Structure 1
Amino acid sequence: MPMRIERWGLRLQPYKLTIKYQPGRDNPADYMSSHPIAMCDKKQSHEEKVAEQYVNFITNQALPKAMTLSEVKCATMADKTLQKAIELSRNGKWFEIKKMQDPNLDIQELQQYRSIQDELVVHEDNILLRDNRIVMPTSLRDRAVSLAHEGHQGLTKTKAFIRSKVWFPGINDRVDSLIKDCIACQSVTRSKLMEPLKMSEMPGEPWSALSADFCGPLPSGDYLFVITDEYSRYPIVEIIRSVSSHTVIPFREYAENTGFTHRKITPRWPRANAQAESFNKPLMKNIRAAEIERKSWKQSMYQFLRQYRMTPHSSTGVTPFKLLFGRESNTKLPSVSRANRQEQD
């Protein structure tokens, strides 16, 4: 027996115990710390690449799909509280809520419907509307909020987008909770709040004044050339390989040949180009969020652009898409057009 074990035996003599010797080769103690995992090579093995691709596939499959009016109709028919609200909206007997004792009904939610009864209309498809917005049944509310947060827009933009399409009691709290629990957003959002930018003078028509800026470099080595129409706030982003003189000088020559005024700003002074700079922040946030979620940053960026263009802008109150094209674009959230509402009325 080793001397070290004998010394332990002498120290433990005051205690009644039995010491059994077991060779170390038969009892590997604390294996993980004695045999740490070797540093991973920068180059991924084939198995690691396959595993990462599989995780990306599962993540993409888990994304919420577009919602249809038929889904909303079926979910509304299965929602007893919403069916009761439709019934009360048709007969106007909202005072009966106080007498209801059905445990399957959410009385508090019915009271909220009663407070806006003048704004409620029953659509021909048996869907309840608040003005032009669909009152979302309980089973689809989380999914609607997830669809509205596609592209990882901030709190204000997400609320503006979802409230332009649908409504349900507690919609603001539901959006707050989702964004608070969004790991990607919380990882890339600055904790320090910036003062809101002062709105510049609105141009008279689309494409009469544009803001442009370079953004990057990105992890791939690419740069983004960001153009924003100051009238509609409609953004366009082009991926470029370099911001060297070989890229910039042809643009200056193009401006001279086509006759538009190229107004330069003070270097390293973002406030002088507020419109483009204010758009760059959520754009880069989206790209960093895509990296955290191990998604394609290009696909995520295009998804963000689509969502941004269809969200009412804080300075205009209208979506950039509508100001530029004169109509609203289709989204993954269902909506009822104003023309159909007027024909029905």
Structure 2
Amino acid sequence: MAASRLVRWAHTLACYQYKIQYRPTEEHSNADVCSRYPLKIVEDDDTDVADVFFNTFAETPIINFNSVSRLTRLDSVLSKVMKFVLEGWPSRLTKYQEDIRPYFERRTELSTEQGCVLWGSRIIVPEKLREEVLELLHLAHQGVVAVKALARSYVWWPRINDDIEKMTKKCGACQDSQNLPNKSKPHPWKPATRPWERIHVDFCGPVHGVMWLVVVDVYTKWIEVINMKSSTTSSSTIRELRKLFAIHGLPVILCSDNAQQLKSEEIVNFLKSNGIQPVLVPTYSPNTNGIAERAVQTFKRAMEKAGRRNENYEKNLANWLLHYRNTPNSVTKKSPAMMMFNRPTRTLLSLLDPLTNRPDNLDRYLKNGEEKTLRTFQIGERVRIYNVRTDQWYKGNIIGKEGCKVYLVKSLSGNVERRHVDHLVRAVDLGDWPDSVEPCEHENTHVPWHKPSAFEPEPDQAVPIINNPEPKTSNIPQPTIDLSLKRPKLVAKQPVIELIRQNPSDSMIGAKSNTAKSTRVSNRLKTNVERYNYFKLGGN
């Protein structure tokens, strides 16, 4: 290859004529730095190459079949084996020949070659060379299986597999770089028996440029996500945990990872002073705190999906927490809100259920005489309105009603206000009130939670009309009531669900199939009513 290159250069340079002229070194002005930069002086090493070869390779003698043959004749066991292989094996061994039993069991496969005993094609190594052979087999620091496979191709002696395993386990280099052992079976935590008994916490982020503290209740699967902004110190963590404990109470156990701010002396003293047992999971073992890690993963994915349509992460977080807390959990089969508060929290989906959105009936509150002294006003009635700021009363007219205690009043100046019945009194004087008052458009409005009374007049009877009071010469207004019509007879209308409860037989007239169907409908309505009973769930 080098000769071909020289030939190519010879052909290239043959086209030119050269004039050789000597130039001293001092006149070389085109010399570069690299060619003139002095090298560092290195002291000459007097070590001879032969010495290096001897020290490196001659320390361990080379093992070959000659050394095996020589040591086989000197080995007490292999010398007997070679004798039996050459002269013949006995029919059975005596009690003094138990040391050669492994060879006796393979006697039909043993042979000799140049003073060495062979088992098939594998040479039997004497006892004095076995350590060196093992080191030679494990020279590349392979695993146990690889070393055994390599040994099966060359050598054998009794219990060679056990010797290979022991030698590999004692190798320091292999121990320093060994693989992790098989993972142990997860040990379950002690089950929680009540809400907020054991909570798990973990930091998450940065998400949207801030850090978050994720808290999970084991019993209810309730998740709290707290915005830590850019501060995750122990003081900030204690401040947020104190706010959280003020809402849900003090837990019994608080489990966390080995984050520096979660195992500091400050936060440990805070937890112990409040009767909370801090539990730290082992280092680099996130599966021990798996419920918190799973909550962090769910929170990150939810924020990532919601952030593609709306970048307001605070709004996205509130929407996600509201829906998550009302979604039945796959483990408890109930929503975290139901497990925590024993009631579902109201969402937009609650508006679809007619049983939970029925207007309530206020008449049952009046049966016990709690509101017998409630003052009522008629549309157009003249009242005095109390001004809270000036502690004075001014004039006005009733133009509408909202609920049972809230009225729309119009002052003489024309302002329309919503006032409570406690701030209204009937006017005694007939001052400068206008002759007529126009009803407000809120006259027939009702508060959404007000349900019409169960005692309603029958449609075929008339309702007495109360006329507006007319001004008279007297100072006291006297309202005129038309008594030409009789007082209507009030008939209590019983709810349909109550009819089904009291008279289930009315809906069971007919064939047997219709009876079973009506029973199922009755039970389903009864279950839904008890399920969404506000007072049963702890309402006031």
Specify which structure has the bigger relative contact order, considering alpha-carbon pairs within 8 angstroms and separated by 6 or more residues.
1
> Do the structures match in fold with TM over 0.5?
no
TM-score scaled to structure 2, two decimals? 0.25
TM-score scaled to structure 1, two decimals? 0.39
Structure with the higher fraction of residues in strand conformation = 2
Structure with the higher fraction of residues in helix conformation = 1
